């Protein structure tokens, strides 16, 4: 089956399901890359249980210390995974968008997750109920292989984030973080306040404001009232540390 025919068939299935459940506009939605990588017959198996959902900004998808109720596959939304210490300090440990899934603990060991998953950029996606997600293991098909590959890419992201937070400047960390969002959105416009970025990086808000001002003065970004427009992506990449490209290369290698 040709790639063009397979894509058309997948879009037809999605259209029929979305028109039946409609919180979505009646257009072809961008694909989650993991779901798009499934063989067509495997997608047909899971499609009836994939519920289309609208994800709102600041919506909590999973609480720390609890078992996720769903596995989420974002398509146009971006989700931040954060860890909070006992004294209330928090830091972002990973970002999930149309490249991945939220709730990987459901198919790895099924236990509680240590991090909180909160929607950073509103958008759409699919969700799969917890019990059905656990069936991925017993089915042992292409879905399991793809999710295991993604789990490895998440480990790479977590590791590189820890290295970045320890050894690189806030200016470099900010560039890396903006690039992570750009890769998961079909736009150069990011709805992110300085406070959100400070919480994500685990630094003072004033430090983010200073770093963002440097980027704006250099003509790399334009910032106004929680709205960041990236004007020069190449310039952003040049100012970022090696962590961004290291994670991107590892992800592309594992999920190709």
CATH code of the domain covering residue 206? 1.10.10.10
At 21, which CATH number? 2.60.120.10
Cα–Cα dist 176/245, whole Å = 9
The pLDDT of residue 112: 76
The domain total for the chain is 2
Q: How far apart are CA 200 and CA 82, in angstroms?
A: 7
- Name residues whose C-beta falls within 8 Å of residue 39's C-beta, 6 or more positions apart in sequence: 142
Domain of residue 191 covers: 169-240
Pair 135, 177 in one domain: no
Write down the pLDDT at residue 110: 59
pLDDT at 31: 85
Residues 69 and 194 in one domain: no
Give the β-pairing of 123-129 and 70-74. Answer: antiparallel
Tell me: do 149 and 223 sit in the same domain.
no
- 121 domain residue, yes or no: yes
* Residue closest to 118 by CA, chosen among 154, 83, 147: 83
Q: Phi and psi at residue 182, in whole multiples of 5°?
A: -60, -40
Which residues are paired to 124 by β-bridges? 54
Going by C-alpha positions, the residue among 5, 133, 143, 116 that lies closest to residue 62 is 116
pLDDT of residue 1: 43
Q: Are residues 116 and 25 in the same domain?
A: yes
pLDDT at 30: 47
167 Cβ neighbours under 8 A, 6+ residues apart: none
Strands 227-230 and 189-191: antiparallel
Considering the domain boundaries, does residue 197 fall inside one?
A: yes
Q: What's the CA gap between 28 and 182, in Å, rounded? A: 21
On whether both 146 and 68 belong to a single domain, the answer is yes
Q: How far apart are CA 100 and CA 254, in angstroms?
A: 12
Q: Give yes or no: residues 36 and 105 share one domain.
A: yes
The predicted pLDDT at position 97 comes to 95
pLDDT tens track, the chain, 256 positions? 444 444 444 444 444 443 334 343 333 344 899 999 999 899 989 999 999 999 999 999 999 988 899 999 999 999 999 998 888 888 899 999 999 999 988 887 656 788 899 999 999 999 999 999 988 888 889 999 999 999 999 999 999 999 998 899 999 999 999 999 999 988 899 999 999 999 889 899 999 999 999 999 999 999 988 899 999 999 999 999 999 999 899 888 877 7
Q: Are residues 205 and 134 in the same domain?
A: no
Distance CA(109)–CA(111), nearest Å, equals: 6
> Hey, what are 58's tokens?
């600041």
Burial label for 188, CB within 10 Å (0-12, 13-18, 19+), is middle
Query: How far apart, in whole angstroms, are the C-alpha atoms of residue 75 and residue 23?
Result: 14
């Amino acid at each position: 089956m040709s790639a063009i025919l397979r894509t058309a068939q997948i879009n037809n299935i999605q259209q029929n399901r979305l028109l039946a459940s409609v919180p979505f506009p009646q257009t072809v939605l961008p694909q989650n890359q993991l779901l798009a990588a499934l063989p067509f017959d495997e997608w047909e198996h899971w499609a009836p249980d994939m519920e289309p959902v609208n994800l709102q900004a600041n919506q909590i998808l999973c609480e720390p210390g609890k078992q996720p109720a769903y596995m989420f596959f974002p398509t146009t939304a971006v989700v931040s995974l954060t860890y909070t210490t006992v004294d209330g300090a928090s830091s972002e440990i990973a970002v999930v968008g149309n490249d991945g899934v939220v709730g990987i603990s459901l198919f790895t060991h099924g236990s509680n997750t240590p991090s909180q998953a909160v929607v950073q950029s509103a958008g759409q996606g699919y969700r799969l109920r917890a019990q059905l997600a656990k069936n991925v293991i017993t089915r042992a098909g292409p879905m399991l292989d793809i999710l295991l590959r993604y789990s490895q890419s998440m480990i790479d992201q977590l590791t590189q984030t820890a290295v970045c937070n320890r050894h690189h400047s806030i200016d470099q960390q900010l560039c890396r973080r903006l690039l992570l969002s750009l890769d998961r959105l079909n736009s150069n416009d990011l709805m992110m306040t300085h406070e959100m970025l400070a919480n994500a990086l685990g630094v003072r808000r004033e430090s983010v404001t200073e770093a963002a001002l440097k980027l704006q003065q250099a003509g790399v970004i334009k910032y106004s009232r929680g709205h960041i427009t990236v004007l020069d992506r190449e310039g952003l990449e040049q100012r970022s540390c090696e962590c961004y490209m290291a994670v991107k290369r590892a992800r592309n290698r594992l999920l190709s």
